[in-house]
Amino acid sequence: MIDHNLYVSPVQASQALITHILEAMDKEPERPFTIALSGGTTPATLFEVWEREYAAYTPWPRIYFYWVDERCVPPGDDQSNFGLAHRLLLGKVGIPASHYYRIVGEGAPEEEAKQYSSIVKTTVPTMDGVPVFDFVLLGIGEDGHTSSIFPDRQELLTAGEPYEVSVNPYNKTVRICMTGRPLIEARHTCFLVTGENKCSILKEILDKNKEEVYPASYIWHHARNPQLYASLVS
């Protein structure tokens, strides 16, 4: 199933995605949910809306948070994806440390990619050896990258391990990212995309003829259940 909707503002797109998550949890009230978060300005809006408008309605004890990708920096660094989520959401609603598994960005990248792959494979349900998250929340870069899988690292789309080391080709910063198979096999692969600057790349991503061109288009066209929440205004 492919589901995509356009919203008039980033706040409305975030509200729709959060509502979708809570409705899915309502349908299966007996079990925990695993959610993998991304970083950046768009998720920042999501975190703020979630804390401000939905905290009281969210069954926090049933959610376990993971990360799609992380820059190799300490959690106190402004570039830390975990730091952003903790500052705007997890810390504010009092999520205990036992309910999130952060990527240790300050660790040795190769070792941490292996360690985090092992943690995910032992704490997230797997199918044929692939971790199956309930929700994977993704963004799209203007170059068509997603989950720190940049266009020059297409091999990460079919890598054997759930997490690998990646390098941003523009500024050479080192990252650890979720690879293609768990992105595709998630029960809900959700793209949250905002801003006028994403109009042209989003059109390319949705084009079936371009599915092998960009990492994000590969994920979109191969995912088990891709969903798009877009507001193409800033």
pLDDT tens column, 210-228: 888 899 999 999 999 999 9
Q: Which two tokens mark 133?
A: 């998250």
Do the Cβ atoms of 120 and 34 come closer than 8 Å? Answer: no
User: For 69-117, how does the pLDDT look when each residue is reduced to its tens digit (9 = 90+)?
Assistant: 999 999 999 999 999 999 999 999 999 999 999 999 999 999 999 999 9
Q: Is 117 exposed, middle or buried (0-12, 13-18, 19+ CB in 10 A)?
A: buried
Q: Tell me the CATH number at 120.
A: 3.40.50.1360
pTM of the model: 0.95
User: Is 102 within the bounds of a domain?
Assistant: yes
**pLDDT given for residue 124 in this prediction:** 98
Average confidence score pLDDT of the chain: 95
Q: pLDDT at position 4, please?
A: 63
Domain total in the chain:
1
User: pLDDT class for 209, splitting at 50, 70, 90?
Assistant: confident
Q: Residue 228: how many CA atoms within 13 Å on its side-chain side?
A: 22
Rounded Cα distance between 22 and 77, Å, is: 30
Q: What is the pLDDT of residues 21-60, one digit of tens each?
A: 999 999 999 999 999 999 888 999 999 999 999 999 999 9
In a domain, 100, yes or no: yes
Write down the pLDDT at residue 38.
95
Question: Backbone phi, then psi, for 17, in 5-degree steps?
Answer: -65, -45
Residue 194 resides in a domain? no
pLDDT digits over 166-188, tens only?
999 999 999 999 999 999 999 99
Q: pLDDT at residue 2 above 50?
A: no
Position 234 in a domain: no
The phi, psi pair for 102, rounded to 5°, reads -85, 150
Residue 137 counted as domain residue: no
The reply to whether 208 falls in a domain is: no
Q: Say if 96 falls within a structural domain.
A: yes
Whether 32 maps to a domain, the answer reads yes
The C-alpha atoms of residue 184 and residue 195 are separated, in whole angstroms, by 25
The residue range of the domain holding 82 is 26-128+159-171
Tell me what the mean pLDDT of segment 132-146 comes to.
96
